[in-house]
């Protein structure tokens, strides 16, 4: 359970460090499973694979999602809640406890992916919100938990946050004076970004409206992380029919 002070900090800043949630043994098992899926022989039809954009043409990969065989150049794996190894971690008791506190006993996973940032080739991710079309529609009814699988520092593409920007509401697709309102708001806050360094197994709770980004990874060290978006089970998706929530993985909360 989060303390009252932690809840207040999360509401004010839009993020909250949770410390080390995944044990060293869990991290080792999850990293091995990521390697098996990308470098080994455990291809899964349930998971979507995405190659680093700058390497797609060179590797013959299609835009969007495409599995090209074992490769160290995958940028993203999605739909990880369909994999029992990942799903076990997504149902970590710490997560279930704080999700019940923040969202109630009826919770589902709306997005589950790994962002891999390969050594030397990891691409940057510009300022954005994890909200808008393709996401839950009601503010306060969904949160994200991000877990480092490798050490994350600014040098290899750690998360960066603009604290308090969740108070601006949904900016992702607003246009202002012919440009993006999201980019305009980020430009106003140059120098206010806060890096979120993390050791393997450490996690952060994120408000999906807070502006965040991650840099490139030019180092020889991978920077992998798991991102989980949890929502209240009845919260509608912004671009889906009202009953679409029935398609998402429900968590074992509240008995």
Rg over alpha carbons for the chain, rounded to the nearest Å, is: 18
User: What is the helix (H) or strand (E) element at residue 103, kind and residue range?
Assistant: helix 93-103
Contact 234, 48 (CB under 8 A): no
Neighbours of 3 (CB within 10 A): 8
Nearest one of 166, 156, 109, 134 to 240, comparing CA atoms: 134
Print pLDDT tens along the chain (255 aa): 899 999 999 999 999 999 999 999 999 999 999 999 999 888 999 999 999 988 998 999 988 999 999 999 999 999 999 999 999 999 999 999 999 999 999 999 999 999 999 999 899 999 999 998 889 999 999 999 999 999 999 999 999 999 999 999 999 777 766 678 999 999 999 999 999 999 999 999 999 999 999 999 999 999 999 999 999 998 888 887 766 666 788 998 865
Please tell me the predicted confidence (pLDDT) of residue 133: 86
Quote the pLDDT of residue 248: 83
CA dist 40 to 70, 90, 133, 172, Å? 6, 23, 34, 37
CA distance 155 to 26: 25
Q: What share of the chain is helix, strand, coil (3-state, %, to 5)?
A: 30, 30, 45
CA 35 → CA 217, 222, 242, distances in Å? 18, 11, 37
Residue showing tokens 């490798």: 150
What is the distance of C-alpha 142 from the center of its chain?
A: 13
Query: SS3 for 134-145, per residue?
Result: CCECCCCCEEEE
Domains of the chain by residue range: 4-42+79-250
- The pLDDT assigned to 28 comes to 98
Pairing of the two strands 107-115 and 202-206: unpaired
- Give the CATH H-level superfamily of domain 4-42+79-250: q2cbj1_9rhob like domain (2.60.120.620)
What is the model's pLDDT at position 180? 87
Q: Which of 100, 115, 57, 117 is nearest to 230 (CA)?
A: 100
Task: Evaluate whether 77 touches 225 at the Cβ level (below 8 Å).
Answer: no
What confidence score (pLDDT) does residue 54 get? Answer: 87
| pLDDT at position 246 | 62
The CB density around residue 65, as the number of other CB atoms within 10 Å, is 15
């Amino acid at each position: 359970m989060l303390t009252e002070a932690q809840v207040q900090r999360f509401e004010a800043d839009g993020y909250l460090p949770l410390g080390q949630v995944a044990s060293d043994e869990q991290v080792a098992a999850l990293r091995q499973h990521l390697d098996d899926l990308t470098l080994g022989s455990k291809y899964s039809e349930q998971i979507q694979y995405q190659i680093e954009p700058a390497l797609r043409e060179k590797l013959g990969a299609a835009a969007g999602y495409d599995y090209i065989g074992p490769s160290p150049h995958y940028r993203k794996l999605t739909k990880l809640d369909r994999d029992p190894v990942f799903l076990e971690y997504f149902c970590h008791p710490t997560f279930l406890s704080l999700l019940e506190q923040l969202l109630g006993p009826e919770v589902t996973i709306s997005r589950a992916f790994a962002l891999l940032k390969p050594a030397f080739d990891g691409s940057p991710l510009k300022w954005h919100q994890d909200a808008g079309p393709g996401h839950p529609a009601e503010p306060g009814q969904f949160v994200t938990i991000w877990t480092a699988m490798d050490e994350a520092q600014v040098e290899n593409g750690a998360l960066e946050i603009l604290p308090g920007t969740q108070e601006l509401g949904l900016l992702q697709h607003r246009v202002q004076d012919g440009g993006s309102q999201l980019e305009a708001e980020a430009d106003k806050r140059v120098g206010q970004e806060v890096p979120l360094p993390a050791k393997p197994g450490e996690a952060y709770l994120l408000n999906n409206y807070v502006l965040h980004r991650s840099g490139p990874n030019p180092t020889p060290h991978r920077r992998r992380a798991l991102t989980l978006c949890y929502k209240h089970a009845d919260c509608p998706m912004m671009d889906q029919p009202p009953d679409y929530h029935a398609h998402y993985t429900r968590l074992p909360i509240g008995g």
